[in-house]
Amino acid sequence: MSMMPPATQSTHGCIDFLSYSASLDGWLAGGWIDLSWDDRDEPPAYILEFGETKVEGEAVVCVFPRPDVRKIGVGVLLFMPGVSQRADAFQDAILIRDGRRFRLTASEPLDRPTEFEAIARTKSLISSAMRSSRRAHLLRLLNRPTFAGHDTLDTLQPPVFLELDAACLCPPAGLLLRGWFIDPFRSVASIRIRCGAESRLLDTDHWIRIPRADVRQGFSKQFGGLIDECGFLAFVGDVYSPGETVYFEVQGRLGDVAFKRVAQVRSAGVDTIKETLSNLELRYDELARGYDHVLGPAVAAMNDFRLMEAVDYKEMTFGDSPAHPRCSIIVPLYGRIDFMELQLAFFSRTLGRHHEIIYVLDDPTILRATEALATSCIARFRLPFRLVTLASNVGYAPANNVGLKLARGDYVCFLNSDVFPKTPGWLDSMVAVADARPEVGVVGAMLVFEDETVQHEGVAFEVLPEFAGWNFSLHPRKGRYPSEDESVQEVEAVTGACLMMPMALAREVGGFDEGYVIGDFEDVDLCLKARERGRICVVDRSARLYHLERQSQGGQQSSWRLNLTLYNAWRFQKRWPPAALEQLAQGESEGRAKKAELAGAAE
Amino acid sequence: MRVLITSHSHPRVQNGGSEVASHALFERLRACGDVEAWYLGCTRSTAFQRAGQSITQPFSERDYLYTVGEFEDFKFANRDTGFARDFRLLLRTLRPDIVHFHHYVNSGLEAFACVREQLPDAKIVLTLHELLAICHQQGQMVTRPDGNLCRRSGPIECNRCFPEVQPSDFFLRTVYIRHFMGWVDRFVSPSHFLAQRYVEWGLPEHGIDVIENVARETAKTSAMLRPPRSPGDLTTLRVGFFGQISMLKGIEVVIEAATLLEREGRTDILFSVHGDDSNQPAVFRSTFRTQVAAFGDNIVFRGAYENSEVDALMADVDIVLVPSVWWENSPVVIQEALRNGRPVICSDIGGMAEKVISGQTGLHFPVGDARALAGVLKALAADPELRQALLRGVAERRQDDAFDAHLQLYRGLLQAREQG
């Protein structure tokens, strides 16, 4: 025991040792407390002060005889459930009983044993403590089994089954867990994920349930009352540290504990995003829950990690592009490079030489073929262009943003590779619209299908009840005959298939938000960012281009692609909740009214 | 006048109808005093290639040959950078007033834009030899795989024949082809049928001249001099089939008609089948050979023949049968038959029906209908007067000189250029 510290008026004892126990999820401490402490079963509140940071909760307190302080106090052992902190910042522990504060200050120096030393020391000291339910409880905790590196789940009675199919890192420290769980006797009280000093409770109320008929059938002879939805997809944040073993700790209602090791944690990439979003069919209210608690944070983390490194690229020039172009056309290429051939053929007759064309190849697997085709295109069509090739496949928004960085025009026109001009002068017309009206932030085009029906004449938002009541961008009048009207019309947003804006504005808003994965919603997001800055979106109906829609080969769209759209939709709702959209529209109409008023007054 | 004729092939490489016709046009232009003419053929064989050069001159001083590099057959895009370079150079060297393309395969559609870029004043003429631009199924306008006649192409229709190709890709194919055809000043079609199909597809009607292919100048052969048999000899009707032994050429219709006639015990209608079956699928070939072998003397398979032999072979038949079950654009075999004074019995569709006037230079029967064909043959065998009338009709038919029409077309274009 340490030397007795000087008792001052403001202290009521002392903390001699303090250690955080990850397996107990709390702090173990020992010291002494003055004789006025009322030792009874009711747990006192505690506050641990670590500089500015405080950890609070209810403490388990046991006293024991300590001859060295017998005239002024008794020995005390404390267990304070709570989160881990840096122990060297510890200052004081405060116990609060009946409104009275007992301040226990850190001894000089404070002993900071390891978790296991602290458990051993507490166990040895507690043997001399008075018998009480607190003592029994603390002993139970101290005698709790700890993970020794092997699975003990099969020791639980009644039986519980937990298997993990995949654990995927959601950087920096989150984990996405896919597996199945059967608790036929409802005997499990909690499941925790542990890794090193960190532990997180698995929120089974919010994990996504997945039908696993195969698992149910396998157990249905043994147990009754099983349901198909015994599969799960769960996310736990902030738990993983590299090099540490990850394991489940399953606690029964009787306090019994067992462990299950997580064999492998996979690193994250596009493939894991795809796997995460495969074979799920969430609709209505499950959708918001599933994305809020599991898919949203998991996919966001994986995507952020994917984009952490700057995109490596190189640029080739074919012919002499203008040094000061009016507009820079940026076209990301993926898979179909023959679209570049078609576009350049058509541009050679529909595009003035005062614009520049930048292709961004977002598909390194076809680099050589693209370079060869680019060489052939300049030889045949004699229309200068720049080809930027990315070292890895990064997706729509990042690919466009690389193009944006390199663009030199007064304006930028984001164009899909499957959009082909129908009328000559389409881009000059769009540029003229923006030139004439400084309030215009985004100009879209009139896009038609091959049968001349409308593909896009502006985007509108619509709430879809089957998809959590989220806002989705729709193309009104799609598939219908277009009107002859060739005017310029204000719209809520325009499609990124052909979206032109002033270069300065595009750079000011940071281009496309790369948090949308692969390619949905970032175009309308970009439009809303422009509107947020007081600019408007219009469609120039005289600029007509073809936008071809591909028929899906396998009938239904693959489930991961649809779920990815839903992820992007979720992200869009977080960024632009309905109230924000309404506010934007309201602000604009007020602005218009004010303008009209001013104009009226001027007259 | 300086004229460059280009063709998708070359008669020294391959003996197809359009390369033969285009080369014949070139030869006749060369023979004109006031015309300078050159020929640019194409080949996919590398036999004539010289390293680093895409265009060589293996045959004669005025005869060029392009060895095809990377070619995209779906939309007829020539991706060969060597051609883009060498063709431009050739144009600048020859400086033709007229560049007359026969076909767009192999040289590629971009060649039209190339001419316009290099020689803004030159006139571009394109002879449409087939329906490839309209139909991806080898330009046959016959559905795949069931072989029905197709009357309308389009993204949706074409996707039915080629489910592996998206409708949008068929649309882009069409836009690409039309885009480059936009540089052409004048189209030539050897038949009204073909011209009409292209008009329906989107070419301007007034932009197409219908001019028959120019025939190769041939010495009068013994066969051509041999008169048809006298009425007294007409105890049998000798029916000749000349061409590829293939399903589309209607060989099955011939076999079926012959079977019907044999069952009726007819021995006075004799078929001789001339043509190559070596390119056909093995099953088709063996079925055909077995069927022919099972017949007695009234159907004989004579095998493949050289183009130079056709006149002699036609001398031994009374009529020529063209029973194709696809449209045919302007079949060479009809030209050959009429040149040899032989009436033609043909299917009542497309280029066949147009080139053979029923009751004058031959007779029509409903396409694919073997029973009707047998009926027509029986009627003809039984009616010596009709046979005589058809022979007279063939002999007296009005023949426009296709070469003169071409010259006239070129002169008209250049005249308009000077005036305009």
Nearest CA of chain A to the CA of B131: how many Å? 21
Mean pLDDT lowest among A79-88, A208-217, B178-187: A79-88
- CB contacts of A383 in chain B (<8 Å) are none
pLDDT digit string, tens, across residues A449-494: 988 999 999 999 998 888 888 999 999 999 999 998 999 999 999 9
Determine whether the interchain pair B166/A550 forms a contact, defined as Cβ–Cβ distance below 8 Å.
yes
B2-212+401-419 and B222-396 in the same fold: yes
Determine whether the interchain pair B175/A376 forms a contact, defined as Cβ–Cβ distance below 8 Å.
no
Tell me whether A486 touches chain B (CB under 8 Å): no
CA atoms within 13 A on the CB side of A478: 13
Compute the average pLDDT of residues A3-27. 78
Rounded CA separation B335/B315 (Å): 15
Give the model's pLDDT for residue B320: 97
Smallest CA–CA distance from B173 into chain A, residue: A342
Burial class (CB in 10 A: 0-12, 13-18, 19+), A6: exposed
Degrees (nearest 5) of the Cα angle A562, A563, A567? 120
Is B136 within 8 Å of B173 (Cβ atoms)? yes
At B326, which helix (H) or strand (E)?
A: none
Rounded CA separation A434/A411 (Å): 9
Determine whether the interchain pair B79/A380 forms a contact, defined as Cβ–Cβ distance below 8 Å.
yes
Top residue of A336, A337, A338 to mutate, by most chain B CBs within 10 Å, is: A338
Closest C-alpha to A138, from A63, A61, A48: A61
- Could you give the 3-state DSSP secondary structure of residue B43? strand
Q: Report CA torsion sign: A473, A477, A480, A484.
A: negative
Determine whether the interchain pair A550/B117 forms a contact, defined as Cβ–Cβ distance below 8 Å.
no
Residue A9 has pLDDT above 60, yes or no: no
Tell me whether B155 touches chain A (CB under 8 Å): yes
Rounded CA separation A84/A18 (Å): 12
CATH architecture of B222-396: 3-Layer(aba) Sandwich (3.40)
Determine whether the interchain pair A341/B77 forms a contact, defined as Cβ–Cβ distance below 8 Å.
yes
Pull the structure tokens for residue A460: 């509108």
Residues 6+ apart with CB under 8 A from A599: none
Residue B1 has pLDDT above 90, yes or no: yes
- Cβ density class A247-261: b for 16+ within 10 Å, e for less: bbbbbbeeebbbbbb
Give the model's pLDDT for residue A593: 84
- Domain locations along chain B: 2-212+401-419, 222-396
Phi, psi of A462 (to 5 degrees): -140, 140
**HEC string of B342-373?**
CCEEEECCHHHHHHCCECCCEEEECCCCHHHH
- From the list B70, B80, B168, which residue is nearest A450 (CB)? B168
**HEC string of A364-408?**
HHHHHHHHHHHHHHHHHHCCCEEEEEECCCCCHHHHHHHHHHHCC
Q: Report CA torsion sign: A178, A182, A188, A189.
A: positive
Q: Which amino acid is at B403?
A: F
Nearest CA of chain B to the CA of A341: how many Å? 9
Rounded CA separation B187/B205 (Å): 10
Is B331 within 8 Å of B351 (Cβ atoms)? yes
Rounded CA separation B122/B95 (Å): 8
- Number of inter-chain CB pairs under 8 A, A vs B: 56
With tokens 């608790």, the residue in question is A183
Q: How far is CA A426 from CA A15, A54, A326, A346, A500, in A?
A: 78, 63, 13, 12, 11
Top residue of B172, B176, B181, B183 to mutate, by most chain A CBs within 10 Å, is: B172
Tell me whether B72 touches chain A (CB under 8 Å): yes
CATH architecture of A153-306: Sandwich (2.60)
Determine whether the interchain pair A345/B180 forms a contact, defined as Cβ–Cβ distance below 8 Å.
yes
Q: Which amino acid is at B46?
A: T
pLDDT digit string, tens, across residues B22-71: 999 999 999 998 999 999 999 999 888 888 889 999 999 999 999 999 99
DSSP state of B203: -
Determine whether the interchain pair A450/B81 forms a contact, defined as Cβ–Cβ distance below 8 Å.
no
Which region holds residue A225: left if phi is over 0, alpha if psi is between -120 and 50, else beta? left
Q: ω before A476 within 30° of 0 (cis)?
A: no
CA atoms within 13 A on the CB side of A296: 17
Nearest CA of chain A to the CA of B399: how many Å? 42
At B170, which helix (H) or strand (E)?
A: helix B167-181
Residue A290 has pLDDT above 50, yes or no: yes
- CB contacts of A451 in chain B (<8 Å) are 155
Nearest CA of chain B to the CA of A362: how many Å? 21
Torsion of CA B118, B121, B124, B125, to 10 degrees: -150
- Residues 428-467 in A contacting B (C-alpha not used; CB under 8 Å): 450-451
Residue A266 has pLDDT above 80, yes or no: yes
Rounded CA separation B161/B218 (Å): 41
pLDDT digit string, tens, across residues A115-162: 889 999 999 999 888 888 899 989 988 888 888 889 999 999 899 999
Rounded CA separation A403/A394 (Å): 13
In B197-324, DSSP assigns E strands to 208-210, 237-242, 269-274, 299-303, 319-322
Rounded CA separation A597/B15 (Å): 81
- From the list B81, B114, B168, which residue is nearest A550 (CB)? B168
pLDDT digit string, tens, across residues B67-97: 999 999 999 999 999 999 999 999 999 999 9
Give the model's pLDDT for residue B228: 61
Q: ω before A65 within 30° of 0 (cis)?
A: no
Degrees (nearest 5) of the Cα angle B111, B129, B55? 35
Q: ω before A502 within 30° of 0 (cis)?
A: no
- From the list B79, B175, B182, which residue is nearest A420 (CB)? B175
Smallest CA–CA distance from B176 into chain A, residue: A342
Burial class (CB in 10 A: 0-12, 13-18, 19+), A339: buried
Is A60 within 8 Å of A137 (Cβ atoms)? yes
Pull the structure tokens for residue A11: 């202290």
Tell me whether A380 touches chain B (CB under 8 Å): yes
pLDDT digit string, tens, across residues B340-349: 999 999 999 9
Compute the average pLDDT of residues B363-384. 96
pLDDT digit string, tens, across residues B349-369: 999 999 999 999 999 999 999
The ipTM assigned to this model is 0.82
Pull the structure tokens for residue B322: 């063209």
Residue A7 has pLDDT above 50, yes or no: no
Determine whether the interchain pair A381/B113 forms a contact, defined as Cβ–Cβ distance below 8 Å.
yes
Determine whether the interchain pair B168/A349 forms a contact, defined as Cβ–Cβ distance below 8 Å.
no
Is B2 within 8 Å of B95 (Cβ atoms)? yes
Residue A227 has pLDDT above 60, yes or no: yes
Rounded CA separation B393/A337 (Å): 57
Rounded CA separation B73/B108 (Å): 9
Within A223-366, residue ranges assigned H as helices are: 270-276, 284-290, 296-306, 338-350
Closest C-alpha to A544, from A448, A459, A428, A433: A448
Give the model's pLDDT for residue A551: 61
Nearest CA of chain B to the CA of A549: how many Å? 7
Helix, strand, coil content of chain B in percent (nearest 5) = 40, 20, 40
CA A164 remoteness from chain centre: 22
Smallest CA–CA distance from B168 into chain A, residue: A548
pLDDT interval class at A1 (50, 70, 90) = very low
- From the list A375, A450, A550, which residue is nearest B81 (CB)? A375
Rounded CA separation A506/B311 (Å): 74
Smallest CA–CA distance from A547 into chain B, residue: B168
Rounded CA separation B294/A331 (Å): 65
Give the model's pLDDT for residue A602: 66
- Could you give the 3-state DSSP secondary structure of residue A414? strand
Classified by CATH at the fold level, domain A313-549+566-575 comes out as Spore Coat Polysaccharide Biosynthesis Protein SpsA; Chain A (3.90.550)
Pairing relation of β-strands A470-474 and A460-464?
antiparallel
Tell me whether B70 touches chain A (CB under 8 Å): yes
Nearest CA of chain A to the CA of B166: how many Å? 7
Burial class (CB in 10 A: 0-12, 13-18, 19+), A226: middle
Smallest CA–CA distance from B112 into chain A, residue: A380
Residues 6+ apart with CB under 8 A from A15: A29, A30, A31, A90, A92, A93, A104, A105, A106, A107, A110
Report the Cα–Cα distance between both ends of chain B, in Å, rounded: 18
Q: What does A151-176 look like in DSSP terms, one character per residue?
A: --GGG-SS--EEEEEEEEEETTTEEE
Residue A6 has pLDDT above 60, yes or no: no
- CB contacts of A348 in chain B (<8 Å) are 113
Give the model's pLDDT for residue A555: 44
Smallest CA–CA distance from A345 into chain B, residue: B176
pLDDT interval class at B232 (50, 70, 90) = low
Classified by CATH at the fold level, domain B2-212+401-419 comes out as Rossmann fold (3.40.50)
Determine whether the interchain pair B172/A382 forms a contact, defined as Cβ–Cβ distance below 8 Å.
no
At B187, which helix (H) or strand (E)?
A: strand B186-189
Nearest CA of chain A to the CA of B154: how many Å? 10
Residue B218 has pLDDT above 80, yes or no: no
Nearest CA of chain B to the CA of A203: how many Å? 46
Determine whether the interchain pair B166/A551 forms a contact, defined as Cβ–Cβ distance below 8 Å.
yes
- CB contacts of B77 in chain A (<8 Å) are 341
- From the list A373, A381, A548, which residue is nearest B172 (CB)? A548
Is B193 within 8 Å of B215 (Cβ atoms)? no
